[in-house]
Structure 1
Amino acid sequence: MKIFIVVSVACAIMLVLIANLLLKPQATKKFLIIAGGVANFLGFFLYGYGYSIKEENTVMAILKTLFAVFGMFLGKDSFGDMSTLTFFSLLPIKFFFYMAQILALYVTASAAMTAFGAGFMNRVRGILLRRGELNVFPFVNDHTLYLGSELCSRGEKVLYICDKNMPGEVLGKIRDMRAVHTSHNAASSATELFLKTIAMGRPGREVTVYAVGDSAAENIAYARSFRNSMKNLRVPAAGTRLILCANEYFDISSLMNTDTHYGFENVHVFEDTSLAARIMITDCPPYKTLTFDENACANEDFHVMIVGFGTMGQAALKALVMHGQFAGSHFSALIFDPAGKSKRGAFKLMYEGMLNHYDISFSDKDGRSEEAFDYLRRHAGDLRYIVIATGGQTDSELEYSYANIL
């Protein structure tokens, strides 16, 4: 009976430590910090006490204590040196001694697994992805890495589909967040083999596909491939969800499950520029740039200056027209863009009513031009909102230059 208890408890503790290492990133980090701290404290206390008694020379006692504590993290113990002391024959002291050894070795094993066992750990985690909820990211960029890390921090399972030439630094970030990565061709193409690998169709399985790469066309193509493979395997639509980054005019009915059409149970589509414009309005609400009287009427007009009329500038204009209307206030917007006239044609085709009914004007001058700075100086006291949407380093340059005037 004693043998059974010893073996069972030892195996259980080992499995818990391994599971903690593989599954819970936040718990693992905290446990490693605690384990390292406890191991060092116990090691220095026990060995320091022992060698201070055994060694007459203080310097040698310090050196042997340091050597013994370092040895703990390499799987070596110096209990033989301490066994002659009565203090170390006490059961509680032996318990704390071996506990310190185990914790120190666990910290070392964790570091070794992270450094040399990355591939093995990734495969083990991949096997564990076959049950429960799963979040699939077919494209890797800064945004998907951030979103995946947030999901992992909440204990959710995440799978990244990477290019075969993905930099090791990016793969390291994925491993650090305890997500799984694969570069298999079947995963990149969302084939039926890939869906079988992640156990699509298993009862209670919930899978969310985040097609939120940098290219809307590639996002749509991957979502369609995934949906077609689901249909061929007759995977139940229940529990499937698609988060798609595409243009605002994309018809989601082609990917959504209905009575007459197979698809994902839930489909959410957003455009990155529209999302950025929404965030802009949330973080910098137009109403905060005005003052109001006791009747909730604005005391000032709402004048807007937009530099750059690409997709981001257009999204910003639409958002400001929607959220910049106040009783007692006149809305106006002046847009600076060297290619503004050509871009205006396509915009007018889609939003002719907006241009006809609101005071929106265009200038073919660059945001860095003399005309733009003259306009800014003359209307510095009247402008309520300035949007710089030229992209790249120019945004930062203009932000700094405009701030000096305002």
Structure 2
Amino acid sequence: MNSFPVIVLSVIIFAALAINLALKPAYSARLTSTLIMITIIGGSIIYGFGFTSITGDVAISLVRTPFSVMGMFLGKNDLGAIANAPIVTSPVGIFLFWLLHFLAFYSMASAAIVTVGAEGLRRLRLFLALSGDLTIIYGITPDSILVGKECAERKETAVVFIDEADSAGLVPEIINMGMAVVTGSGAASCDKLTMTKLRVRSRKRIEVYALHPERSRNLFFALALKEAFKNAQIDPDKTSIALPGTEDIAAAILQVSTEEYGFGYVQVFSVADLAARAMIRLCPPWDFLTFDKEGRAEQDFDCIVIGFGDTGQAALRYLIMNGQFVGSTFHAAVFSTNMQNEAGFLLTECPEIVRHYDIDFYQKDGRSREFYEYLEKRLDTLKYIAVCSGNSEMNTELTDNLLLYLKRKRSEHICVIQVTAGGVSYQEAVESDIKRKKVFTLDMLSAEKADRAGILLNATYDSSDRSNWGKWLACDSFSKMSSRASAEFIPALVKASGYSEEEIMQDGWNPGEAKLRVLGETEHLRWCAFHYTMGYRTMTDQEFDRRAEEYKEHVRSGKPGRYRIAKDTENRIHACLIPNDALDELSAKESRVTGKEVDYRKSDINNVLAIPQILKKQKEEI
């Protein structure tokens, strides 16, 4: 009978130890450190009292105790020297003596496993990453690990993280997920040794995500990697890179060209813009409107943006781009206590947005009495509130207060969505589940996934025999952004049409002349909004006439390339930024100059007519 408790206790102890080994390395290391401290304290008490009891000499006990405690971690014990001490003569004392010795030996073995085993596993992961396509991720953060995890799920793809130094607790997590890590200044500067380790020359495809939290480091890494690939004579066509930054700056120095080596494809993104795109995907404005049988919106789109930092400004721009419908008027109110210091760049860069759209700016907090007084007046018309304070905790406080207020006012039909640099979240009502969409996912970062519809739409404009991807690569940055914005508005046109996507794909796309005209005008409103939020303005008659003369000279002199009269990309001016009804007159005016048939209204309608083709191809690719 006495052996039964011993057996049970032994099983419990070994089960606890097995669980410890199964824990994540960060937790296991923490537990091991705790056990070491417990063992040192417990061992010092037992041996300290034991030696003092036997020898009666405090000085000798002070010398012998540390040596005996250190011996515990090496599997030794000095029970014989203190066997007659009262502290170990009882069954409880003996139990504690051996338990502490066991924990000491285990904690030392565990520490060795964590240290030596982790390094060995790290080397093994790097060895296993020597074949297949290569995905390089620069920067070790929880967000970048999410991206790496998605990449690792693809077949025959090796994922390698690169950073200047190990990030506490994250490297073991990466290793446990089956991915490799290379750290150090040499790795971060893409030296020859690192390129050799990664066998970049033998890869069929190399995909790079530069996601370091310090934005400037991503560009420096990209430049170093570009030089390393150039020295290794890597074919640019098999490389691509995505990084945060300013497209006009980064893309120009990283993209391959006829004169300069570079990456085959460069995706430069604004984290705030990605968050705004995620906002539109999770809670599109058209979901909060109804449409009549001809496709006209039956309500105005009225929205509020709280906070006007990077994410707030991006949210406003994307609401403008995606909130324009025939039959509807757009109105927005922006609340921020720091408005005067935040709004300068956007309103200077894109002055047309306040000239063409009804936007009010209030230098007030989203928790202020003035805000709630404004809110109460708009409850009947308001459709959307984007909470973009720049602080997650503040966003949650603002959102919780708003949801409770709207519930009491029986106005829970109003969308309240939190927007942060990491993603967006939406709760339909106080008791409902929270829906989330993260920014750092392949669905948002990978051009082939995030821009699938844009790539297909762009292909309809290009009659060359290149592949859809080849046509996309040939586009300039602005054209890509334009196709992307147009493609992401397709669900709005589908809803306004009254058809479902399934009906459209089953050759049921027959909107009729009246509805087609309305949908084409809605597309024109969206196109104008996109250009205004990109800093464009309407071309004057004088500017059009000057460019018409330049076009004639361009043709007479036989200069290569196409000269667009109505579009001045360099100065961000476009003649088509006019009401839909005025497009026919502009088309005729340009036709008289060029001698070619121009129909700008038809261009918008063609985008609408292309919807079935894009939906079908998108479904086929998925």
TM norm structure 1: 0.69
**Residue 164 of structure 1: aligned partner:** 165
CA contact (8 A) 1:304 1:334 kept: yes
**Residue 19 of structure 1: aligned partner:** none
Q: Deviations over 1:87-137 (max 9, x none)?
A: xxxxxxxxxxxxxxxxxxxxxxxxx98896221122122123233211111
Distance 2:166 2:181 in 1: 13
**Residue 339 of structure 2: aligned partner:** 340
**Residue 429 of structure 2: aligned partner:** none
Distance 2:237 2:114 in 1: 37
Matches within 5 A, 1:48-127: 117-127=117-127
Amino acid at match of 2:162: I
CA contact (8 A) 2:240 2:264 kept: yes
Q: Structure 1: which 5+ residue stretches go unaligned?
A: 1-58, 75-111
**Residue 271 of structure 1: aligned partner:** 270
Moved more, 118-127 or 227-236: 227-236
- Say if 2:224 is the partner of 1:240: no
Distance 2:373 2:364 in 1: 12
Q: Secondary structure at the match of 1:157?
A: strand
Distance 2:167 2:215 in 1: 21
Distance 2:224 2:190 in 1: 6
- Say if 2:164 is the partner of 1:176: no
User: Offset at 1:161?
Assistant: 1.8
Distance 1:248 1:363 in 2: 31
**Residue 312 of structure 1: aligned partner:** 311
Distance 1:249 1:313 in 2: 22
**Residue 288 of structure 2: aligned partner:** 289
Distance 1:186 1:116 in 2: 23
Distance 2:172 2:178 in 1: 10
CA contact (8 A) 1:131 1:205 kept: no
Amino acid at match of 1:384: K
Q: Secondary structure at the match of 2:286?
A: helix
- Say if 2:219 is the partner of 1:220: yes
Distance 1:249 1:400 in 2: 39
Distance change (3 Å), C-alpha of 1:372 and 1:248:
farther
User: Offset at 1:216?
Assistant: 2.7
Q: Deviations over 1:56-90 (max 9, x none)?
A: xxx99xx9xx99xx9xxx9xxxxxxxxxxxxxxxx
Q: Deviations over 1:373-399 (max 9, x none)?
A: 111122122111100100221100000
Distance 1:164 1:312 in 2: 30
Distance 1:195 1:324 in 2: 48
Distance 1:314 1:145 in 2: 28
Distance 1:117 1:276 in 2: 40
**Residue 28 of structure 1: aligned partner:** none
Q: Secondary structure at the match of 2:170?
A: helix
**Residue 16 of structure 1: aligned partner:** none
Distance 1:215 1:314 in 2: 21
**Residue 86 of structure 1: aligned partner:** none
User: Offset at 1:231?
Assistant: 2.1
CA contact (8 A) 2:190 2:228 kept: yes
Q: Secondary structure at the match of 1:399?
A: helix
- Say if 2:282 is the partner of 1:322: no
CA contact (8 A) 2:141 2:170 kept: no
CA contact (8 A) 1:152 1:179 kept: yes
CA contact (8 A) 1:192 1:230 kept: no
Distance 1:397 1:239 in 2: 47
Q: Deviations over 1:195-249 (max 9, x none)?
A: 22212223x4422111122233221111011112222333332322111121344
Q: Secondary structure at the match of 2:315?
A: helix
**Residue 201 of structure 2: aligned partner:** 201
Q: Structure 2: which 5+ residue stretches go unaligned?
A: 19-111, 407-622
CA contact (8 A) 2:219 2:250 kept: no
Distance 1:248 1:359 in 2: 29
- Say if 2:123 is the partner of 1:140: no
**Residue 399 of structure 1: aligned partner:** 399
Distance 1:122 1:205 in 2: 24
Amino acid at match of 1:318: R
Q: Secondary structure at the match of 2:201?
A: coil
Q: Secondary structure at the match of 1:201?
A: helix
User: Offset at 1:339?
Assistant: 1.7
Distance 1:278 1:163 in 2: 31
CA contact (8 A) 1:333 1:360 kept: yes
Residues paired across the two proteins, number = 304
Q: Deviations over 1:151-172 (max 9, x none)?
A: 22334211112443521x2122
CA contact (8 A) 1:377 1:405 kept: no
**Residue 371 of structure 1: aligned partner:** 370
Percent sequence identity is: 30
Distance 2:312 2:375 in 1: 18
**Residue 188 of structure 1: aligned partner:** 188
CA contact (8 A) 1:341 1:362 kept: no
Structure with higher Rg: it is 2
Distance 2:314 2:218 in 1: 20
Moved more, 260-269 or 128-137: 128-137
Q: Secondary structure at the match of 2:249?
A: coil
Distance 2:141 2:179 in 1: 15
Distance 1:364 1:258 in 2: 46
Distance 1:358 1:117 in 2: 62
- Say if 2:212 is the partner of 1:252: no
Q: Deviations over 1:249-277 (max 9, x none)?
A: 43413111122110111211211111111
Matches within 5 A, 1:23-34: none
Distance 1:215 1:328 in 2: 45
